[in-house]
Structure 1
């Protein structure tokens, strides 16, 4: 079992963090698609608070939030409600956080509005890495029906799909950028070659060489 600042972390932590960073989502501003998913999660569960969090080496970084101030800073992993969730493979529900030792002293539980009920789904990509969580919580103890729980799972799958689309777009952008660089480099080499030919040979011969035409001695 691997530990970070006293909390359990995945054994594949280094590869997991690299996977998170490959989606280009850390530190980016709010986006409507992600906000919509959080609002839907809040609506289907009846909870007051919701968010999407991604975990890098040290922090739980919010990508979307509902009823959480925009200026609230990202929390260290050891202070995040969702640190245990990325160790799971399915929906995690805690009816009363204050009664659980690993949660009771966390800021979200100790400070107003005092999180009590907690429900979160780990965001696991096709490689099996837990990138983060889709989370909702409420200051009142609650229960969710099987249908509500399944809705949270569906929203998490939708979120993963959007992340994969994002990664594909980034990879395509890099490939296209590389192609442009290669073309620019080729053009530069051709320009240099032209300069060399015109400096070495008479113009008429240089033009024939550039046109790949045979040069017949006169």
Structure 2
């Protein structure tokens, strides 16, 4: 037999693919149609099959061997049926020159009778057939053939409903994936937002699309800046500089977070944080002092190791000032939580006028923390645009309030009988 090719074969195969029916598991709806077709036509066998580029694949069958699921297209009788828009009725295949040499007729199943109806979509593509067969010649009445036509239309209805269900399931799957992506993206955006804004500020921004600036009558501002940074950079690869700065600032982040301070930003090799903002508390000055001591302790330990390796030290100046600030969010596309005011300016000047490896605090900060910390008067220092400013060196937590010999961590007594009131 020659292979029969419909005129619209490429489009037909594309339509067949869209139904996602090939090589699927048996379905009772199609099985019942083949059984009904065999009973109506009084035939021993019936099948629903689809024709792809190389084979006739059987979706449902009645009266045929269970292991028979396909046959090559070139010997298929149904390949001829899909080229017509009407029923193919052959009472005796042996007498029909189109089929009398087919192995399906001369050997194997030895089919003698065939009646098939193409399964045609609304767009006119014949995907396969509903057919009845017999192993001896037979005649069908007009009513039987018409019944077979009606069953073929019901088969297409069933097939179309099946496709719509698959499309619905696919749409639901995509919607579920889109929902999951949206949830994941929202979680990621919220995580990123919390990385740059305090939780209460992020919540206000999400709720109101803006953050109202607030005045805080008492907060403690801490500046950390590496001295001799240019000299260090000149001896290191750029990637190594960035990597080490990241390691330092990450460690600073951990220390700051443990003491309820809020990191605001880094500017080059400078690091800015504040205590008592955006959540007011009574211990921000002591918290800032403890942070400064632990940051300096971290750098001292690191520099002892670097000295053994003959590497330049990372020396820092730290300045702390306490007083009123205004805090708020700036930016529309890239948000920044920041503080402003004379307190911030003085803290920056104190740090700039400081000594590498030492922590310098203002007189206001000294008044808040002098009962719990060892502090060394530095005297007045000329500060740019501020004139003479009294400053103090913060050395350590007093031994009676310290949990470690170095005086960087407070013990239980530090906070008793109650926390210091700014």
**Length-normalised TM-score, structure 1:** 0.93
Aligned residue for 2:74, secondary structure, equals helix
Match of 1:21 among 7, 17, 20: 17
Number of the residue aligned with 2:168: 172
Match of 1:149 among 142, 145, 149: 145
- The alpha carbon displacement at 1:215 in A equals 0.6
Distance 1:112 1:60, change over 3 A: closer
- The alpha carbon displacement at 1:162 in A equals 0.2
Number of the residue aligned with 1:114: 110
Number of the residue aligned with 1:158: 154
Distance 1:163 1:73, change over 3 A: closer
Distance 1:113 1:79, change over 3 A: closer
- The alpha carbon displacement at 1:72 in A equals 2.0
Number of the residue aligned with 1:64: 60
Aligned residue for 1:8, secondary structure, equals coil
Match of 1:212 among 185, 190, 208: 208
Aligned residue for 1:28, secondary structure, equals coil
> Could you say which structure has the higher strand fraction?
2
Mapped pair 1:185 → 2:215: no
Q: Which runs of 5+ in 2 are unaligned?
A: 215-422
| Greater displacement, 185-194 / 158-167 | 185-194
Mapped pair 1:105 → 2:101: yes
Alpha-carbon distance in structure 2 between the residues aligned to 1:205 and 1:119: 77
Distance 1:179 1:132, change over 3 A: same
Alpha-carbon distance in structure 2 between the residues aligned to 1:200 and 1:117: 79
Mapped pair 1:12 → 2:8: yes
Number of the residue aligned with 1:87: 83
- The alpha carbon displacement at 1:73 in A equals 4.4
Alpha-carbon distance in structure 2 between the residues aligned to 1:73 and 1:38: 14
Mapped pair 1:201 → 2:166: no
Number of the residue aligned with 2:336: none
Number of the residue aligned with 1:127: 123
Alpha-carbon distance in structure 1 between the residues aligned to 2:66 and 2:208: 63
| Greater displacement, 202-211 / 150-159 | 202-211
Alpha-carbon distance in structure 2 between the residues aligned to 1:65 and 1:85: 17
- The alpha carbon displacement at 1:134 in A equals 0.4
> Could you say which structure has the higher helix fraction?
1
Distance 1:188 1:106, change over 3 A: same
- The alpha carbon displacement at 1:114 in A equals 1.8
Alpha-carbon distance in structure 2 between the residues aligned to 1:197 and 1:184: 19
Alpha-carbon distance in structure 1 between the residues aligned to 2:159 and 2:122: 11
Query: Do 1:194 and 1:210's aligned partners in 2 also have CA atoms closer than 8 Å?
Result: no
Structure 1, residues 84-136: CA drift from partner, whole Å, max 9, x if none? 00011111101211122221121221125521121000000111100100011
Alpha-carbon distance in structure 2 between the residues aligned to 1:113 and 1:201: 77
Q: Which runs of 5+ in 1 are unaligned?
A: none
Alpha-carbon distance in structure 2 between the residues aligned to 1:213 and 1:95: 79
Aligned residue for 2:205, secondary structure, equals helix
Question: Highest Rg: 1 or 2?
Answer: 2
